[in-house]
Amino acid sequence: MEQIGHWVNGARVTGSGRTADVYNPATGEVQAQVALASASEVDAAVARAAEAQPAWGATNPQRRARVLMEFVRLLNRDMDKLAEALSREHGKTLPDARGDVQRGLEVVEFCIGAPHLLKGEFTDGAGPGIDMYSMRQPLGVVAGITPFNFPAMIPMWKFAPAIACGNAFILKPSERDPSVPMMLAELMQEAGLPDGILQVVNGDKEAVDALLDNETVQAIGFVGSTPIAEYIYSRGCAAGKRVQCFGGAKNHMIVMPDADMDQAADALVGAGYGAAGERCMAVSVAVPVGEETADRLVEKLVPRIDKLKIAPYTAGDDVDYGPLVTGAAKERVLGLVNAGVEQGAELVVDGRDFQLQGYESGFFVGPHLFDRVTPEMEIYRQEIFGPVLSQVRAGSYEEALGLAMDHDYGNGTAIFTRDGDTARDFAHRINIGMVGINVPIPVPLAYHTFGGWKKSGFGDLNQHGPDSFRFYTRTKTVTARWPSGLKEGGEFHFKAME
């Protein structure tokens, strides 16, 4: 069986103790074991990164950017290889896996602009003979803790800007699908990154706590569930670190009576069931305005849901979604579905008995559609992270707006309408970080920033875009005055003592 260790000082190394199983989600079989780093292993990786970082930080930004340029070339070269490894451990379809890599690659492309993004400011003549200027300097050693659902994209969102800024980076990816982060580290090495600048330390809570407690680590970024985001944010800040944490979501899509109902239904099916719902930007709540709109929307959704193709990634590029990542994830989703039924929601499409012939032990979950969900229900309050779409009927636009605004989470939202005034009002008033207008999953492109509000985000700076360069650097401001002395030339005669 394959043994997956760590990537330290430019090479794969074996672990020294505990391991965790890595599953094939389609079959339910264990396909590899991944090492779980001890605190001492984490500390050793951090110490080596600290030794390597000063030379990298002193390398000019253009040369650092050239490493990322070569990394982009290698990502494109190995796209299919990365996607296959990702699908094998995560379960998502091959087109979805390629998209995972591509959205990370686009952030790397943005980071190639580091020479421009790291420029400081200059004021000539701020006072008599005084100039002022600022410079952005790396923090030193920084770390990222990334989730299972995007094992390529989110690690690149973290380490690409950090390394472009001159930092050394410790990546603690999810132990559920660790192969792709290791492959990314190998590609960065091939691209010319010096040893020790990117370390991959696989592990669980022990490794996370070791990073939080290590005084050398200056900043930590995290993506995952809200309870863990709150834990890392509070403990990291208490330790004096710079911290950005992104948590859970419950993304609402408001459907106005004037919306193109076919377009809205297509958007909901893709955004709600794509990647088996294991996306923090998945639309999990549809909010049609008016009973007629709700009835029309359900009428459009049901036949589309019935046609979904659920299969392993090996079944072809026309698969709509695959299995969940683990058996525990499957049991949690089905438990929440049962809670919805018990609490009185109307289960219009029931996927609880879904079985895929030949893959009965896999972690597949059929699609579910709830109607007449109310805000006090568990399926409305919690992030399900599975192929479950809930419809909450709203009597008016104001009621629909209030549902999204009153929810604890504030990651993403969308509105489908043909009315520009309604869309503009929605975009201005909604207290959610990312907004789509006739766009169901409004993930910003790499040169903007990604981040949620309320309990979806902790910290004052977002991921990727200009905010990432602010997060991974500190600003130093210099005030300079040069005394006059040699403008008239040197003196060559011996000056007598006065």
Residues belonging to the active site: 280
Phi, psi of 263, deg, nearest 5: -60, -40
Amino acid identity, residue 363? F
How far is it, in rounded angstroms, from Cα 463 to Cα 467?
A: 6
Integer CA distances (angstroms), 410 to 226, 356, 432, in order: 11, 35, 4
DSSP assignment letter at 151 = T
Amino acid (one-letter) located at 472:
Y
156 three-class SS: helix
Question: Cα angle at 430 between 278 and 155, to 5 degrees?
Answer: 35
Q: E strands along 117-224, which residues?
A: 122-127, 130-138, 141-145, 168-172, 198-200, 217-223
> For tokens 């076919």, what's the residue?
262
For the chain, the residue count is 498
Q: What backbone torsions phi and psi does residue 200 show, to the nearest 5 degrees? A: -115, 115
Q: Which residues contact 368 (CB under 8 A, 6 or more apart)?
A: 337, 347, 349, 350, 351, 352, 386, 387, 388, 389
